[in-house]
Amino acid sequence: MPARLAGAASAGGILPGPRAHLARPNVTPNQNATPAAGSRGAIDAAIKEAYEGFRYESRPCPTSTPVRLATMARLMGLEAPDPSTARVLEVACGDGGNLVPMAAASPSARFVGIDIATGAVAEARAMAADLALGNIAFHAADLRDLPGDIGRFDYVVAHGFYSWVPAEVREAMFATLRSRLEPDGIAFVSHNVMPGCALRGVAWSLLRPHVAGIDDPARRIAEARSMARLMADAMAQLPGAARALAEEFREIAARADFALLHDDLAVVNHPVHLREIVAEAGSHGLAWLADADLYRHPAPAYGGAMNAWLAGVDRLTREHVVDHLRLRRYRESLFVHRERGTPTPPAPERLAPMHVAASNDSAERHASLPRAPAASDRTPAAAQRMLIDRLVDLHPATVPVSEAVSWIIARSDPGSLLAAPASALLMLLNACHAGAIVPFARPVRILRTAGAKPRAFAPARWQASRHAFVVNLRHEGVDFSDPVQRRLLPLVDGTRTRAELASELAAWVPDSPNPPRLLDDYVAHFAKIGLIEE
Ligand SMILES: C[S@@+](CC[C@H](N)C(=O)[O-])C[C@H]1O[C@@H](n2cnc3c(N)ncnc32)[C@H](O)[C@@H]1O
């Protein structure tokens, strides 16, 4: 996962989605077998059994939200359905960790999730029921049995699905996208990619046979983890490529149980080159729109000669070569109906009606950077730096692009490069490409100062006592392992005054000299990590 998603501005780190760590090829011959077309064979049964037997903890995937999908489509010159009233389908919704918070954040939109694992769907239903959501429904079923009368959707999300199912289910996924996506809809498909997966595949080709005879999930996990550690330690002592590969084993050894079991030891793992999945989608009448994250679009970052070469080739060739330059192993690809025509590159003027926020990486790095330039420094570099500082101060909330542009112009001398709105917009777009800021088609309402009766985002309150992560109002996973925070957050529901919350806190932290102040600190922290809406 890119470093920019790896941490928040405060004690809680913004979690990478587990899928982002997990790309790997089918490397064990007997696990590559797929059942004959049309049948539902042993591999289907093994996949279902694996997910029924050991829960996969689904995290929020920020780039899969309707707002982020609409953002990318509009930046590339396509209309996109209004996210606030959209119909959204999630294929392989698992325990609802991605879909339920989306439904809670957009009460006028409607959501449907389908997953073959009945236990996971029961968990998703329980979360939705506890949150009293009336805009979400689930089907505990194989994707191939999606009800025929379910209608069409403005957005379809298939996260952590394509690379983990057999060929005929991948086919069914694309057929579903084609038949269920509205003509102006956007589909999000995450998948493992080559050539990065070839590296991780070295570890998989050792670990999967190593645990092949073990049925008990806990033992499979323990054995694989132990072998991964052994390999990492031994390979770190060796020269050349072995030392580099030690890191692959080290990463696997450090993974959460559910991710190690379902990703690194999976029954099916099918990484592809981008060109291959684009061709596959094309055979179903779908066209690749773009990567879901502007930050991951190719940028001229590879030295003069390579940058010039990349500038002269077509889009897919450029992506293919950059995947090799970066040894990329995971992608989030957006697809649209082929009839929509060829998308155009993101254009600065399309950013004008949008909103921007500091990225988590900017917020994290900001803490260790020297102070911003003096206000008297009116060079373009200083204006850019001051803008990022300002967004970091507001992080994770968004500001209108129009406001950011006015702000840049006000800090630039007349006649200087950034004094023109078009140049200021270009600077903002470049900052999005660089991962310093994130564009949003709609504002994200996050309070930086909580009210007298503070209220935290309901899905986060629900998760706090059950998981070591919670979802914030930007739909990001935030580390949440502190026991006092986990106990306090469910009470921050808008019904209690700060004094009432402080007296609860005093009972759990009896040695605190000043519970009201401690409470204020906790609530301020919740606001800083994007959990407070009142
Ligand atoms: C790796 S998990 C991903 C879950 C979630 N989307 C995420 O990324 O956190 C794969 C999911 O696909 C589901 N699945 C596998 N085969 C399926 C099928 N044929 N139809 C529907 N769901 C399926 C599994 O039950 C599991 O929940």
The residues spanned by each domain of the chain are: 62-194+270-340, 348-440, 458-528
Q: Report the residue among 34, 56, 269 best suited for mutation to probe ligand 1: largest number of ligand atoms under 8 A from its CB.
A: 56
pLDDT band at 156, cuts 50/70/90?
very high
Q: Are 96 and 111 in contact (CB under 8 A)?
A: no
Supply the residue whose CA is at minimum distance from atom 7 of ligand 1: 58
C-alpha closest to that of 415 among 439, 380, 390: 380
Strands 153-158 and 181-192: parallel
- Ligand 1 atom with the smallest distance to the CA of 142 is 20
Q: Are 500 and 522 in contact (CB under 8 A)?
A: no
Residue 422 alpha carbon to ligand 1 centre in Å: 44
| pLDDT tens readout for residues 230-277 | 999 999 999 999 998 999 999 999 999 999 999 999 989 999 999 999
What is the share, in percent, of the chain residues with pLDDT greater than 70?
A: 91
In this structure, the residues whose C-beta lies within 6 A of any atom of ligand 1 are 19, 47, 51, 56, 58, 92, 94, 114-117, 120, 142-143, 159-161, 164-165, 169, 262
Domain 62-194+270-340 carries which CATH code? 3.40.50.150
Distance (Å, rounded) from C-alpha 56 to C-alpha 50?
9
For tokens 């769907």, name the residue: 121
CB-based contacts of 280: which residues, under 8 Å, 6+ apart?
A: 170, 174, 272
**Mean pLDDT value across residues 119-146:** 98
**Mean pLDDT value across residues 5-16:** 33
Residue 102 alpha carbon to ligand 1 centre in Å: 18
C-alpha closest to that of 163 among 66, 274, 252, 250: 274
Residue 55 CB burial class (10 angstroms; 0-12, 13-18, ≥19): middle
Q: Between helices 515-528 and 498-508, what is the axis angle to 10°?
A: 110
Supply the residue whose CA is at minimum distance from atom 1 of ligand 1: 160
pLDDT band at 386, cuts 50/70/90?
confident
Residue 279 alpha carbon to ligand 1 centre in Å: 23
Distance (Å, rounded) from C-alpha 89 to C-alpha 154?
8
Q: Hey, which residues does 203 pair with through a beta bridge?
A: none
Q: Is the per-residue pLDDT at 15 higher than 80?
A: no
Supply the residue whose CA is at minimum distance from atom 19 of ligand 1: 142
Residue 160 alpha carbon to ligand 1 centre in Å: 7
Distance (Å, rounded) from C-alpha 508 to C-alpha 437?
39
| pLDDT tens readout for residues 280-335 | 999 999 999 999 999 888 888 899 999 999 999 999 999 999 999 999 999 999 99
Neighbours of 256 (CB within 10 A): 14
Residue 161 alpha carbon to ligand 1 centre in Å: 5
Residue 64 alpha carbon to ligand 1 centre in Å: 15
Supply the residue whose CA is at minimum distance from atom 3 of ligand 1: 160
| pLDDT tens readout for residues 439-469 | 999 999 899 889 899 999 999 999 999 999 9
CB-based contacts of 8: which residues, under 8 Å, 6+ apart?
A: 14, 360, 363, 364, 396, 476, 478, 479, 529
Residue 467 alpha carbon to ligand 1 centre in Å: 20
**Tokens (6 digits) for 281:** 């989608």
Residue 15, helix vs strand vs coil:
strand
Supply the residue whose CA is at minimum distance from atom 9 of ligand 1: 58
Residue 429 alpha carbon to ligand 1 centre in Å: 35
- Ligand 1 atom with the smallest distance to the CA of 93 is 6
Q: What is the pLDDT of residue 300?
A: 83
Residue 95 alpha carbon to ligand 1 centre in Å: 9
Q: What is the pLDDT of residue 419?
A: 84
pLDDT band at 3, cuts 50/70/90?
very low
Residue 158 alpha carbon to ligand 1 centre in Å: 9
Q: What is the pLDDT of residue 281?
A: 98
Sign of CA dihedral 440, 334, 293, 290: negative
pLDDT band at 39, cuts 50/70/90?
low
- Ligand 1 atom with the smallest distance to the CA of 90 is 6
Q: Hey, which residues does 250 pair with through a beta bridge?
A: none
Q: Report the residue among 19, 99, 115, 255 best suited for mutation to probe ligand 1: largest number of ligand atoms under 8 A from its CB.
A: 115
C-alpha closest to that of 436 among 292, 290, 297, 295: 295
- Ligand 1 atom with the smallest distance to the CA of 52 is 25
> In the predicted model, what is the mean pLDDT of the chain?
90
Q: What is the pLDDT of residue 176?
A: 98
Task: Please state, in angstroms and as integers, the Cα–Cα distance from residue 282 to each residue in 173, 177, 180, 234, 456, following that order.
Answer: 13, 12, 16, 45, 43
pLDDT band at 163, cuts 50/70/90?
very high
- Ligand 1 atom with the smallest distance to the CA of 51 is 25
